[in-house]
Structure 1
């Protein structure tokens, strides 16, 4: 198992490095470890679902 940085995972998952860091800080990436100032993530980690509410989200009104 290889460990990747947030930059490498961002490229792999096609999301921003900052978003990967946020997911790590929230404990949403299994196996991610913080070494100094760098998050190291297993290369086989699964990308968590994006549960954020987007600006184009539509809520049904009754």
Structure 2
């Protein structure tokens, strides 16, 4: 199996290397494992869904949850 670094995954997915490291630490990237102070990420891994964003349908005009 081939692996890429957090920096390579960041370029591939259009996010920062720090965000990739956080996703790895949270266990959200399947098959990623720590190698010293770096992360080894399977080359065929897909970018996890960003759960920090809210669905627009659940917010009213004042910006409050419905």
Structure 1 residue 8 displacement after superposition: 0.3
Unpaired segments ≥5 residues, structure 2: none
Q: Aligned residue for 1:34?
A: 34
Name the CA distance, whole Å, in 2 between partners of 1:14 and 1:53.
16
Query: Runs in 1 of length 4+ with deviation above 4 angstroms?
Result: none
Q: Aligned residue for 2:52?
A: 52
Name the CA distance, whole Å, in 2 between partners of 1:48 and 1:23.
8
User: How many positions carry a matched residue from both structures?
Assistant: 60
TM-score with structure 1 setting the length: 0.85
TM-score with structure 2 setting the length: 0.80
Q: Which has the higher contact order (CA 8 A, sep 6+)?
A: 1
Unpaired segments ≥5 residues, structure 1: none
- Root-mean-square deviation (CA, aligned residues, Å) is 1.8
> Bigger radius of gyration, 1 or 2?
2
